[in-house]
Amino acid sequence: MEYIAATSGPPSVAPRSSIHTNGFGIERGSLRRPPEQFEMQEKKRKEQENTFLRSSLRKSKKLQALAKNGDNPEPMKVTSFANPLAEVEEVSVKKSITENGATRIAISDEVIENSEVLIDDGKQDHMQLDEVIISVERIASKLSSMRGRESDVAMLRDFFAAPPIQAAIEQTVKQNGKCGTTSSGIGTDSGADSSSCTSSPIPPVIMNGKAERCPSTASSSSVSPRPNVKVVEVIKDEDSYLGATVRNENNRIIVGRVVKGGIVEKMNLFQEGDELLELNGSSLKGKQVNEICDILRNLSGPITFVVAPKEETEPEANADPATANSNSASSKKSQHVQHLRALFDYDPEDDVYVPCKELAMKFGRGDILHVLNTKDDNWWQAYRDGEDTQHSLAGLIPSSSFRQQVVLYADELEREQEQKRKECKTKKKKKLEVKKGADEENLPAIGVYSDFLTYEEVVLELPKATHRRPIVLCGAEGVGCLKLRDRLLESDRITLACPVPYTSRPPKEGEFNGVHYHFVSKQKFHEEAKSGKFVEFGEYQKFWYGTAKKDVVNVIERGKTCVMTLKAESLGAIRSPDIQPHIIFIAAPSLHILRRQREVEGTFGVKDDELKGILNQSKIIEQKYGHLFDGIIVNIDFEKSFRELKQILMKVNTEPMWVPATWTAC
């Protein structure tokens, strides 16, 4: 294929000695062919060029956007084209205006008649320049992947890089101040005065088969033009996720969420609010979210998106400064990493409200979660402590407010259903009810009921030599808490100690006041209890016993680790910044193991109801107060449980631990 240099006047036939074949270097002038044969070859060559242009550009009707230069042209986006292939000779291009206002684009010395575009004051459907560029880029990319079409690609790129084409575009831009809005959402609102806009964003340029986003030129109009579309290509592995979610909005596909750690976030492919126009050459307009997900799930390898970035609105001049500061603070908050301790169990498979089960994260009560993004009021992005944040996606977790709303709604539905059951008098079947024990009925919640608790902010704190954290054992009566406490104290009397309790009973032989007990009268004991001196107290065999908070502090001040047992109701009184206990729940094993433990201890004939009561009480305590536990030991084997307790004690005294942020606030 031959190329002739463009001239300002009508194209003339260059000397034959200067005309070369493409790549062979054979001078046609040396062959001295007859003029008739040469003219036939020239005519055939030009017909081939015209056929190619008609099939690739003219039939798509998108070339018309470049020729709109009539009296009342449609608005067109400002653009400029850079020549990406400098080594290819320029194509001879001529633009002329016919008498009836039609624009003709000529290549070499022959005019492509079918490329004429009549501008008839908007009666025809005009294509936006962004869509023209996308179409041309797709054609060029397709030709690049085909063998033997390199010259066609070069000619196509050179056609748009030719100075006459650029001059026509620039001239049109000067006459049209701003971009129109296409059906795909590209461009800005066309209702403003076009004369007030001096420039518009530059669309993507065709360069080496890739579409690049060019910088925008500032506009003098009060209406900010919409950013340019861009072409994004990404390599997707099979059964992998890009790390983004989409939603339907006004018949468009909008990026709803970009997940931390995904390909989209790492490569900054697109942002939340961007519109996805095409996927691998197929338009996404009008498609549903489920269709897009199904398509992407089955795709692997290179994937190409056409994206229209979200239109950013500039703050108004008379905007409230307080509102602007609030938005800025909210943006900084969303970027701040929060360390939270989960106070409830969550499984996305059981959640009907989760927006994307594949991205949602399952976690248990007590897990440490590192929240990275809180922009969404309902769903946060987080990693579980210990996960690889470099090679894995962040998970979606329900926000604190959303979790509380779900619980309240579920409780309301349950109350309504219970009310309907009570009002239904037609069915009078006697139902089997599980009777609650006295301990369960009198078991109050600490602060708020645990179902309404969501997360607790925590910080990583190093162990302090001046403050050894107390070890508090909690569990159902008869599960083995006292036995484990006594065994632990006997193992190390130097560094471990327990607080001296108060009692209203008289001292026995060999007992000393302040050593074994603080012996006080019954009246004095009740006065101390009313003043809130005790963290726990109760009556046993007509005598009162209690543990004072100041005695726990005395053990800490002596540089020892305080070891004690408490009932679940008393944990809230001791869980404070001045004590900072490490609470361990001793859970009951199975019914079979409980019976075997009693037999090993020499206790035979224990009734199943008694053992079931221990199991029931253990489950109730864990359900209502599990959010206060720092660790759980299932007492299957006593020796194994004791070793686990020793390991926990060592970690508390030597390793950093996650503690409530309120403990270190002061």
Q: Which residue has the higher pLDDT, 564 or 77?
A: 564
What count of other Cβ atoms lies within 10 Å of the Cβ of residue 108?
A: 20
Kindly report the average pLDDT of the chain as a whole number. 72
Structure tokens, 520: 């006080």
Q: Which of 49-63, 80-94, 623-637 has the lowest mean pLDDT?
A: 80-94
* pLDDT for 7: 36
pLDDT band per the 50, 70, 90 thresholds, residue 593: very high
**Cα-atom radius of gyration of the chain, to the nearest Å?**
40
Closest CA to 206 of 165, 172, 158, 142: 158
In sequence order, what are the beta bridge partners of 245? 257
d(CA 176, CA 74): 8
Structure tokens, 142: 């397709």
Per residue in 122-137, pLDDT (tens digit) is: 444 555 555 666 677 7
Are β-strands 379-384 and 496-497 bridged in parallel, bridged antiparallel, or unpaired? Answer: unpaired
CB 608 within 8 A of CB 665: no
Are β-strands 379-384 and 395-398 bridged in parallel, bridged antiparallel, or unpaired? Answer: antiparallel
d(CA 362, CA 384): 9
d(CA 227, CA 653): 57
d(CA 630, CA 474): 11
Residue 256 Cα to chain centre, angstroms: 9
Closest CA to 209 of 138, 283, 280, 277: 138
H helices of 55-162, in order, are 64-67, 129-144, 150-161
Per residue in 259-288, pLDDT (tens digit) is: 888 888 888 888 889 999 999 888 888 888
* pLDDT for 175: 53
Cα–Cα distances in Å, from 470 out to 403, 456, 481, 555, 558?
Answer: 32, 20, 15, 9, 12
* pLDDT for 269: 87
- The arithmetic mean of pLDDT across residues 227-240, rounded, is 79
Per residue in 469-508, pLDDT (tens digit) is: 999 999 999 999 999 999 999 999 999 999 999 999 999 9
* pLDDT for 197: 32
d(CA 343, CA 355): 22
Are β-strands 110-111 and 103-107 bridged in parallel, bridged antiparallel, or unpaired? Answer: antiparallel
Return the SS3 of 383. Answer: strand
* pLDDT for 171: 59
Find tokens 């499984």 and name the residue: 347
Residue 108 Cα to chain centre, angstroms: 55
Supply the DSSP string of 458-489, one letter for each residue.
Answer: EEEE--BTTBPPPEEEEE-TTSSHHHHHHHHH
CB 31 within 8 A of CB 24: no
Whether pLDDT at 87 is above 90: no
d(CA 350, CA 393): 21
* pLDDT for 4: 33
What count of other Cβ atoms lies within 10 Å of the Cβ of residue 589?
A: 19
* pLDDT for 417: 82
CB 408 within 8 A of CB 415: no
Structure tokens, 617: 């009480």
Find tokens 């800005």 and name the residue: 188
Q: Which residue has the higher pLDDT, 661 or 135?
A: 661
What count of other Cβ atoms lies within 10 Å of the Cβ of residue 12?
A: 9
- Domains of the chain (ranges, CATH numbers): 16-187 (no CATH), 230-308 (2.30.42.10), 331-428+447-459 (2.30.30.40), 460-664 (3.40.50.300)
